[in-house]
Structure 1
């Protein structure tokens, strides 16, 4: 942590309930912390609100946009009177009202190759509330180069995802786990619809932003520093699922912005049987993975996250699988590892319960298929 002045008496009083819970030492770590929030929108607003209220002492906030009337149903630091004003200025003003002693450093600019490394290398932790694939991969790569912990989030419609990444040369094992271990390559900008076309439930951004702020507080105070945790949240009906991502040993870590090369993949699997209807395709990836890399419509993939099956007893697992399997079904994950283990694990269970299904693996998974 970068040093700053000690917590004063007024700040101790303001955060007294939290100090009772977490202790004075943890509160001092929050006060001394320096974090970067990328984006002052639907995620950045609740993140800044919660971190300022929690006592984080120094926040760097970057966003190049101005407040629009369409923002304020979900960007909770803004009101109708703020339309037309720079988001970073309004957000900083609200943060200072919550914590008078906070230092909010604002940048009315877009994070890009010219400033990402400089800004990220000067902070203890980054929270990515951006809304484009290009920015998300830029942030993740810069965090990997500088070995800066990253709290990452996305939100769309009624769904949101949160992850904690920490990768790069100065991590405890010299490698760590980062965004590209789960999603190796950047998707095209139009691969997933944005909030302007698909819509978003305003309160979902607050929930996901709150989860991101909680992860940041846990990391800063040392209460929770496990990288590779991904949580998928659905608002209606409510559910929260968490899974772990391991580092991909075949992936070469990023060492320079714009230099990433995806490892050479095998020739994509032949899924012609799926396309022409002779077989079905079952995707066992988690919702966060599917959102960022959905199967093309021609595959008519059915999605059944492995975590959903793991939560059921064996009898119900068999019943649930019977609902989605065809007599001949290809099983896919991201890279082929989980799908192979899935078939080895569940084929005997299906046979035991008299369910006839020919399960076939998709070698290389979605990453190799398209």
Structure 2
């Protein structure tokens, strides 16, 4: 593998002393360190992965690091985002990370990009960097970053974490497949767990973050064998890793699409009174209130579990004009609520009294609502 970055100027004595333990590595040496010093690496996300990746890049000697994140530090971040502390609560995460880098190496050029990453803003930011590391926590951003790197011809080192598992890979068209070749399309937005909903083992952030930094160093310096055409899976509970090879199956992207359009995020604001809480629905059902329950998921999802007494009417059929005709209150639901929100917009536009179940069937189960279906028994057994 050829080095990605040309070497910078000769290192002064204090830099040689600082990096002495890696300069002595076989096949590394001062030339590789000078490449790191000249490298410009953009990191997407300053959360669990970003807060592990950025300080490690700075400590390794990467000369310029950009951090893109518009979030602020919250108390629930601190168990896993180790670059932020109690004193940083409420601060922009890019500012907190800048302080962490400054404490490690004041000479590192840390560039803060505190705006939201979009199809309009990302290309201009990415143009100033040699390589991008994606540590974001959502599918829309992952696909957007992959596509922007694809269009720019720049390597992308990506990682993801959830619960006890992590994944790491490299996307670089012309040298190997991209993220879209592994995952051609994102899951429905109401089926994709996040760390906020699914949880994450805190030590997983540093473990996967170390993998990401190692891959970036390999690309910049030309040492080792990068994860091109291979994705690494890490299971923290068993301390096992496995690799899955994959090949290019997609064509280059033609352009960028804003994440909320690409992944079907929420559309227009919900009409007043369109939302119904799971607790309120449960009260209405137990009280015998006239409610027409409509499940807008696909049949295989409804077969796994559904609210008793509901009827199946997938969103695609509603979009095609198939709507309930009686005058009852219509309560639509899906796994969480993105598809049901869309359904409510359509049904209300046709004059029906329709509301969506906030949080979907998952919220209904959480408040003690009863569900039926082929997957209910297995799910209950697995949760014991």
TM-score bin (small chain): 0.5 to 0.7
Query: Where does residue 232 of structure 1 map in the other structure?
Result: 233
1:188 Cα deviation (Å)? 2.6
After TM superposition, the score normalised by the length of structure 2 is 0.64
Q: CA RMSD in A?
A: 2.2
CA distance in 1, matches of 2:58, 2:86: 22
- Tell me how many residue pairs correspond in the alignment: 259
1:121 Cα deviation (Å)? 2.3
Superposed, 1:147-158 pairs within 5 Å as 147-158=153-164
8 Å CA contact 1:60–1:106 kept in 2: the answer is yes
Query: Where does residue 256 of structure 1 map in the other structure?
Result: 255
Structure of larger gyration radius? 2
The runs of 5 or more residues in structure 1 that have no matched partner are 263-294, 301-370
Query: Where does residue 188 of structure 1 map in the other structure?
Result: 188
Matched, 1:246 2:252: no
Superposed, 1:55-74 pairs within 5 Å as 55-74=61-80
CA distance in 2, matches of 1:296, 1:5: 59
CA distance in 2, matches of 1:131, 1:203: 16
Query: Where does residue 53 of structure 2 map in the other structure?
Result: 47
Question: CA 1:144/1:236 → structure 2, altered by over 3 Å: closer, same or farther?
Answer: same
1:97 Cα deviation (Å)? 1.4
CA distance in 2, matches of 1:192, 1:56: 34
CA distance in 1, matches of 2:156, 2:302: 33
Question: CA 1:69/1:259 → structure 2, altered by over 3 Å: closer, same or farther?
Answer: closer
CA distance in 1, matches of 2:117, 2:13: 36
8 Å CA contact 1:73–1:202 kept in 2: the answer is yes
8 Å CA contact 1:121–1:148 kept in 2: the answer is no
Matched, 1:16 2:15: no
CA distance in 2, matches of 1:54, 1:119: 23
Superposed, 1:52-131 pairs within 5 Å as 52-131=58-137
1:6 Cα deviation (Å)? 4.4
8 Å CA contact 2:118–2:258 kept in 1: the answer is no
1:194 Cα deviation (Å)? 1.2
The runs of 5 or more residues in structure 2 that have no matched partner are 263-299, 306-384
Q: 4+ residue runs of structure 1 moved beyond 2 angstroms?
A: 1-9, 186-190, 295-300
User: Any idea what SS the aligned residue of 2:172 has?
Assistant: strand
Question: CA 1:83/1:296 → structure 2, altered by over 3 Å: closer, same or farther?
Answer: same
CA distance in 2, matches of 1:3, 1:17: 19
Query: Where does residue 146 of structure 1 map in the other structure?
Result: 152
Q: Return 117-126 or 142-151, whichever deviates more.
A: 117-126
1:165 Cα deviation (Å)? 1.1
CA distance in 1, matches of 2:34, 2:216: 15
Superposed, 1:304-319 pairs within 5 Å as none
Residue by residue over 1:76-114, the C-alpha shift from the partner in whole angstroms, topping out at 9 and shown as x without a partner, is 101111101111011011112112210001011111111
User: Any idea what SS the aligned residue of 2:76 has?
Assistant: coil
Query: Where does residue 357 of structure 1 map in the other structure?
Result: none
User: Any idea what SS the aligned residue of 1:164 has?
Assistant: strand
8 Å CA contact 1:42–1:75 kept in 2: the answer is yes
